[in-house]
Structure 1
Amino acid sequence: MGIGSVSPGVAGVLGFLAGTIGARAVAEIGTGTGVSGLALLDAMAPEGVLTSIDSEPEHQGAARTVFTAAGHANRRARLIAGAALQVLPKLSDGAYDLVFVDGDPLEYVEYVEQGLRLLRPGGLLVLHHALAGGRVADESNEDDEVVIIREALAAVKESEELSPVLLPLGDGLLVARRA
């Protein structure tokens, strides 16, 4: 479909994290073709529900096919077509165990704000592409996407409510636990 998916390592860590915290409610920003969503669904509590947001309905159709083929009931994946920054404010505060961010990098700062609002205490915020192909570490790189990702990483680091760790998996995976 012309889009990249998370690496097997990132999918493995997502599943590990969801399983470790016994996730029952997960929000995903960027459905893609369902690779990350499937990793999350496979590891979540059996009654858990994945809420996945994507602006491309055809991506969600592909993801639904993947979830169904893997044996997950339709009720376990709530797929919402729309712009993430319009949908996220409608989701309930403190209702999610894990929020996975794999959407538009130019909106990462807002995703961090929304993710923090959505997470329950002890919940996890996970940002994909946190290293932006190594470009984040290059201080001379002033591309918009890189600058915004740096700002999002700084917001996580400076938050008194989040304890982060940066994992060198895929394109960088930032995991932060909410106090």
Structure 2
Amino acid sequence: MYCEDFVPEDEVLLRARGRAAELGCASISAGTGAALSAVAAALRARAVVEVGTGTGVGSLWLLRGMPTDGVLTTIDIEVEHQRAAKTAFAEAGIRSTRTRTIPGRASEVLPRLTDGAYDLVLVAADKPRYADHAEQALRLLRPGGVLAIDGALARGRVADPAVRDETTTIVRHVGRQLRDDERVVPAMLPVGDGLLLAVRR
């Protein structure tokens, strides 16, 4: 699809994507990454949280949109994935002071982060807990900050009301909640597997 290839990935991103395939972990699409990088740049996002480090594909896209003094806090339950992400960060020449990798469950880490201190929160893992992660993210965001949820179309299943499997139902519910939440201004972008954005009022 044209929008997925519009901003091409370089060798560092492609190698990180290759490591993800080897480890069997998901990565955001190139189109989603480009959109997130643009959002981070528009926000001049200096404090970003990522749920789901993977091998660093999403992290790299976010960091490329952030100012050079911005810090990415990225959370993943798999230490091996974060080790691969650190390799990608080193290959990209990203200073170690710009990333804070926290191993563990997002449901345990997010409550420990500071209220209203973040410009952007990306939720890209642990779909069964998307609703909890979204609520925690809204607490973390400053006014004007953005919550981004990857996989918000669940491979096209969200738009089909006849599909009622557990994951699709959860993702659909989160989308509806944010669409109707007066605290945010929402939008659904048709990149990757759907990118739901919600701007904190």
Q: Which residue of 1 aligns with 2:89?
A: 67
User: Residue 130 of structure 1 aligns with which residue?
Assistant: 152
CA distance in 2, matches of 1:114, 1:4: 23
Contact 1:53–1:81 (8 Å) recurs in 2: yes
The residue correspondences of 1:1-179 to structure 2 (distance < 5 A) are 1-179=23-201
Structure 1 segments unaligned to the other structure (5+ residues): none
The two structures have a TM-score, normalised by structure 2, of: 0.88
Which amino acid is 2:78 matched to? E
Which AA in structure 2 matches 1:121? P
TM-score, normalised by the number of residues in structure 1: 0.98
Alpha-carbon distance in 1 for matches of 2:187, 2:48: 20
Matched letter for residue 22 of structure 1: R
Gaps of 5+ in 2: 1-22
CA RMSD of aligned residues (A): 0.7
Deviation at 1:4, TM superposition (A): 2.1
Report the CA distance between 1:45 and its aligned residue.
1.1
Cα offset for 1:81? 0.3
Which secondary structure state, in structure 2, belongs to the residue aligned with residue 133 of structure 1?
coil
- Contact 1:112-1:155 within 8 A present in 2 as well: no
Local SS of the residue matching 2:198: strand
Following superposition, which runs of at least 4 residues in structure 1 exceed 4 angstroms of deviation?
Answer: none
Identity fraction in percent: 50
Q: SS state of the match for residue 25, structure 2? A: coil
Deviations 1:134-175 (A, max 9, x none): 111111111110111111111211211110110000000011
* Amino acid paired to 2:145: G
